[in-house]
Amino acid sequence: MKIINLLSVLLILIGALNWGLVGIIKLNIVEALFKKDSIISRIIYSLIGIAGLYTILYLIL
C-alpha cells in the first residue's frame, strides 16, 4: 500500500508542477513531450486525476 501512496504523491507533484508552468510561462510539459491530444497525454492526465481522487479518499478515510 505504501507504493501506491508514493506513486500517487509523485503523480500529484508532476501535475502541480505542470499546472504551475502553464500558469507562469504557458508551458505544458505533457504536451511538449507528447502531442497535444495524443492517447499518451490523455493517459497521463487520467492517471494524475485518479491519483488526486485516491489521495482525497486516503486523507478522508
pLDDT tens, residue by residue, 21-45: 999 999 999 999 998 889 999 999 9
The Cα–Cα gap between 11 and 4 comes to: 10
Give the chain's domain count. 1
**What is the length of the chain?**
61
43-53 mean pLDDT: 96
Query: The whole model's pTM is what?
Result: 0.86
Q: Which residues constitute the domain of residue 22?
A: 2-60
Record the cell numbers describing residue 30, joined without a space. Answer: 505533457
Local confidence band at 1 (pLDDT 50, 70, 90 cut-offs): confident
